[in-house]
Structure 1
Amino acid sequence: MRYVLVGTGNISNTYVAALDERSGSELVGCVSRRGRALPAAPDLPCWPDLASVDRPFDAVILATPNGLHHQGAIEAAELGKHVLTEKPLDIAVVAMDKMTEACRAAGVTLGVCFQRRTSPDNRVVKALLDDGQLGRVFAADLSAKFYRDQGYYDSGDYRGGMALDGGGPFMQQACHNLDLYAWFFGLPEQVVSMLGTFAHQIEAEDHGAALMRHGNGMIGTVVASTATRPGFSARLEVHTDRGSFTLTDDSISFWDIEGLANPGRQDFQYAHDGATSASVTDTSAHQAIIEDFEAAVREGREPLAGAASARLTTELILQIYRERV
């Protein structure tokens, strides 16, 4: 497929590299609000908007700030182009509704780059949970204690704000981890959260915790932070009536489930954990998301992270923000 990359900020470098590694996938140029060429591909053409693109293309990749995703998706859908957006789907329910409906009405595919879903261990855990093979889950504890310095937030006037970022680490850095939580367990019925700003000069939170109860009785906890120096690996500890397991940075690091051998891929390791930096050097997971997206278009199916599934992540985060005490 041929892509136009919308947005030329830091994350655009990741998509340039990922597409460069994929045979049959081509980046034809970019769209930039500020007329800025792609840092990783400065020789490619750059247009002010999608309507100005004068080369054939099939899909867009949205690498704009979170709160602008719906705008790019609607514009692409009106041109009949498929849409793969950087996470999250968007930061507001009404925005997600509008972009989803626009893509549905245009008959184009809408996918979200929640690339951690492509991890072999995450996928096998998802399958085991869906099949009920892990027993009754009664507790799930997520820790996403990362660190970003003030320079990170100062690098973009939208960073750490509510209007475009949509929040602090819950909506931004820990979004991938909360996506796995929502993908595995769905949305809770009750949420109580406490959020604060401790280490940065930003509008949103930089540290917080939430306590959640699900309809089946499961109790979940999550801590998300960009204030916990020096930054730690993300961990999801799950406890069931048949035992326990732990996922650390998308790999099964502990397994003790009665009657089930550890299904983890010991040879798998995703190099980017997000604990200390937003930079991505290992694009293999992004390549996997693009591969699945293209297959979804060919096969007329939902992508691995389609709109209906991906919106749950934003809904969960909005619950956490709404129920703060």
Structure 2
Amino acid sequence: MRYVIVGTGNISNTYVAAFKNLPGCELVGCVSRSGRTPKDAPHLECRASLAEIQAPFDAVIITSPNGLHHISAIEAAALGKHVLTEKPLDITMEAMDKMVAACEAAGVQLAVAFQRRTNPDNVAVKKLLEAGALGRIYAADLSCRFWRDQAYYDSGDYRGGWAIDGGGPFIQQASHNIDNYIWFFGMPDQVTSQLGTFAHDIETEDHGAALLRHDSGMIGTIVASTCARPGYPARLEVICEKGTFTMQDDRIHTWNIDGVPNPASAVTPRPDDGARSAAVADTSRHEAVIRDFEQAIASNTRPLADAADGRRATELILRIYGKL
């Protein structure tokens, strides 16, 4: 398939690199508010809107700031183009509902790049949970204690604001991990939270904690922060009927489950240093997301993370923010 990328900031270069490893897939153009191409693809046709792109294309990849995703998705749907968007799907329920409705009406796919779902250990744990192999889940504690300096927030006038970013570390840095939490355990019934702004001159939170209660009785916690210098690996600790296990950066770290062999993969993608930087060194997971996206289009089936998945992740974050 042929793609146009919308947004030419840092993450667009991850996709430029990924396409180099995807024979038959081609990036043919970009849409940029600034008029610049991705730094690693200066040859691309660059326009101010999708409608102005001259090269034929089949789909768009949206890498623009969070609160602008719905605008490009709706424009793409009107042109009959499939949509793969970076996380989050968008930052309000209204915006998400509009983009979902537009894509459904146009009969095009809408998928979210929750690439951590492709990590082998995450896939193995998901299968065990679906099979009930771990027994009843008592508790799950997710820790996303990351670090960003003030220069990160100063690098874009929208960063750390409600209007475009949609919030702080919960909707930005931790949204992939929160998607995994929901993928594993489902949506909670009750949510309470505390948020604060401590180490940065920003509008939104830079640290917070949420307490979650599920209809199964499971108790969950989520901590998201960009205050935790120098930044620590994302960690998930699970207590269940058959024992306990922990995961660190999407890899099984400890496994103490009665009667269930440790399913940790011998080969796992190199972890990104997301705790300290937004840069992505290993594009294999993005490549997997693109391959899955194309397969979903070819077979008219559900992609790995569809619009409903993206909507749930933002919904939970909005509940943590007290906006729902």
Q: TM-score, normalization: structure 2?
A: 0.98
Query: 1:96 maps to which residue?
Result: 96
Give the superposition deviation at 1:276: 0.4
Letter in 2 for 1:83: V
Letter in 2 for 1:213: R
Query: 1:182 maps to which residue?
Result: 182
Query: 2:257 maps to which residue?
Result: 257
Aligned mates of 1:214, 1:106 — CA distance in 2: 36
Query: 1:159 maps to which residue?
Result: 159
Q: What secondary structure is seen at the aligned counterpart in 1 of 2:192?
A: strand
Question: Mapping of 1:268-279 within 5 angstroms?
Answer: 268-279=268-279
Q: 1:225-254 CA deviation, whole Å, 9 max, x = no partner? A: 001000000000111111111111011111
Q: What secondary structure is seen at the aligned counterpart in 2 of 1:83?
A: strand
Aligned mates of 2:215, 2:270 — CA distance in 1: 33
Query: 1:146 maps to which residue?
Result: 146
Query: 1:306 maps to which residue?
Result: 306
Query: 1:24 maps to which residue?
Result: 24
Contact 2:45-2:53 within 8 A present in 1 as well: no
Give the superposition deviation at 1:82: 0.3
Query: 2:225 maps to which residue?
Result: 225
Give the superposition deviation at 1:142: 0.3
Letter in 2 for 1:93: M
Letter in 1 for 2:78: E
Aligned mates of 1:156, 1:2 — CA distance in 2: 30
Query: 1:206 maps to which residue?
Result: 206
Contact 2:3-2:28 within 8 A present in 1 as well: yes
Query: 2:61 maps to which residue?
Result: 61
Aligned mates of 2:87, 2:95 — CA distance in 1: 14
What number of residue pairs does the alignment pair up? 324
Q: Does 1:234 align with 2:227?
A: no
Give the superposition deviation at 1:256: 1.2
Query: 1:127 maps to which residue?
Result: 127
Q: What secondary structure is seen at the aligned counterpart in 2 of 1:165?
A: coil
Q: TM-score, normalization: structure 1?
A: 0.98
Give the superposition deviation at 1:323: 7.4
Contact 2:110-2:307 within 8 A present in 1 as well: yes
Letter in 2 for 1:283: T
Moved over 4 A (4+): none
Contact 2:147-2:276 within 8 A present in 1 as well: yes
Query: 2:15 maps to which residue?
Result: 15
* Percent of pairs with identical residues: 64
Q: 1:19-61 CA deviation, whole Å, 9 max, x = no partner? A: 1221111000100122122211112110110011111100000
Query: 1:247 maps to which residue?
Result: 247
Letter in 1 for 2:128: L
Q: Does 1:39 align with 2:39?
A: yes
Structure 2: 5+ residue stretches without partners: none
Query: 1:82 maps to which residue?
Result: 82
Give the superposition deviation at 1:267: 2.0
Letter in 1 for 2:136: R
Residues 323, 88 of structure 1: CA spacing in aligned structure 2 closer, same or farther, 3 A cutoff? closer
Aligned mates of 2:251, 2:240 — CA distance in 1: 18
Give the superposition deviation at 1:144: 0.3
Contact 1:147-1:226 within 8 A present in 2 as well: yes
Q: What secondary structure is seen at the aligned counterpart in 1 of 2:29?
A: strand
Contact 1:74-1:103 within 8 A present in 2 as well: yes
Q: What secondary structure is seen at the aligned counterpart in 2 of 1:108?
A: coil
Q: Does 1:117 align with 2:117?
A: yes
Contact 1:251-1:269 within 8 A present in 2 as well: no
Q: What secondary structure is seen at the aligned counterpart in 1 of 2:321?
A: helix
Letter in 2 for 1:150: Q
